[in-house]
Amino acid sequence: MQISLSEHFGYKKLLRFTLPSIAMMIFTSVYGVADGFFVSNFVGEEAFTAVNFIMPVVMILGTAGFMFGAGGSALVAKLLGENQSKKANEVFSLIIYASAAVGVVMGAVGIAFMKDFAFLLGADEAMAEECALYGRIISAAMPFFVIQIEFQTLFITAEKPKLGFAVTVGAGIANMVLDALFMAVFRWGVGGAAAATGISQAIGGIIPIIYFFRPNGSLLRLGKTKADIRAIGKTCANGSSELVSQGSMSLVNMLYNYQLMRYAGKSGVSAYGVMMYVNLIFLAVFIGLSVGAAPVISYHYGARNYDELKSLRKKSLVIIGTASVFMLILSLLSADFLAGIFVGYNRELQALTAHGFRVFAVSFVFAGLNIFGSSFFTALNNGAVSALISFLRTIVFQVGSLLLLPLIWKTDGIWASVAAAEMLSAVVTVGFIAGKRKKYGY
């Protein structure tokens, strides 16, 4: 039975509604990890290092998808809650068209300057060639990547989270099958990994476009729109936290690579790459719940159902707190196994990765709260607070920890910097949630 945004959400219904989003984010992370697995095991450590080295640049180019998805979803869901269905569909269409145009521009930038970006980050000639090959092929699919990312949220706003999950599964399976074919069979190296990812992103972007252009059973449909600068501005403001979060995290990852090259060499970059792949899967639970609950929060905020807002905030935090403890325990117990999946061919690198991951894992205790807090204020159409949480969490706290802690504990200081930043950010997040409760009535 389909659950509508206007219903009352107990724990069971909230989990049922957000479960497709959680599964979608986990699966997105898993098939994103497929590139790393195949590159590491079938191409080698040098290529694996190159892919992880240039990935932050690729993610920066694709941040528009996160901004338009989160910001647009908040605005569209709020309009639906205010019974402005026609306006909601016009804004929905405008967001998709605008983001596709931005994706084309970012893709062109990536194709033209990817090798320059690699040199700027400190790659040598051989690594820069690998970085450029991977990054340019991915950039060619950038418009589809942007659209795919934003539809992960907009499918939920349209009350079609299961369909969004199905599209993600289809794109993910295509990516993993093509990874195996292009790298394990055809031996195309990092170019094969990039081609597999690009094709899967095209699948994930084109299918939603076709669905929403046709008559469908959802709340939304692509069609005619108006050049509404105010709506675009509001969308960008609402989604600024996601833009800040994804963009700044990519910048911070560049700094991580730089510090690791100084303190641990290329093996440190490879170890960090493994941690980031595993981190994507673990954090996908928090992101999925936050993304899944956001349209519901926006709807009830627009409808002024303050008791429901309070209930949603409380139940979401309880679920996230429980998941945080579970993830810490799981990550501590499985560190050696997870490291072995990617770099089991090198015992020294596996030991370095497993040790670093156990230190890094403390961050899971606080990360869920911070992810939800930022998403919560985006859903309330308060992009400023959401962006501030994201900015402090990444640029201020992580950069500060990453520059300071290695001076004390060297490589272990790099692994510990994420946990320190998440802990400081959690203090800020709790402060905002408590301080804004009267303004928003939750």
What percentage of residues in the chain have a pLDDT greater than 70?
99
Rounded to 5 degrees, what angle do the CA atoms 365, 367, 369 make? 90
**Nearest-angstrom CA–CA distance, 147 and 45:** 32
Q: 315-332: per-residue pLDDT in tens?
A: 999 999 999 999 999 999
Q: 387-432: per-residue pLDDT in tens?
A: 899 889 988 999 999 999 999 999 999 999 999 999 999 999 999 9
* Predicted pLDDT at 317: 96
Examine the pLDDT at 90 and tell me if it is beyond 80. Answer: yes
* Predicted pLDDT at 72: 87
What percentage of residues in the chain have a pLDDT greater than 90?
60
Lowest mean pLDDT among 34-48, 143-157, 301-315: 34-48
Lowest mean pLDDT among 54-63, 64-73, 106-115: 64-73
**Average confidence score pLDDT of the chain:** 90
Average pLDDT over residues 212-235: 92
Q: 7-50: per-residue pLDDT in tens?
A: 889 999 999 989 888 988 888 787 777 777 888 888 888 888 88
Q: 173, exposed or middle or buried, with CB in 10 Å at 0-12, 13-18, 19+?
A: middle
**Given pLDDT bands bounded at 50, 70 and 90, which one contains residue 148?**
very high
Q: 249-296: per-residue pLDDT in tens?
A: 788 888 888 898 889 887 888 889 889 888 888 999 999 999 889 999
* Predicted pLDDT at 1: 58
Residue of 412 and 165 predicted with greater confidence: 412
Question: Burial letters for 263-278: b for 16+ Cβ neighbours within 10 Å, e otherwise?
Answer: ebebbbbbbbbbbbbb
Whether the model clears a pTM of 0.85, i.e. scores above it, the answer is no
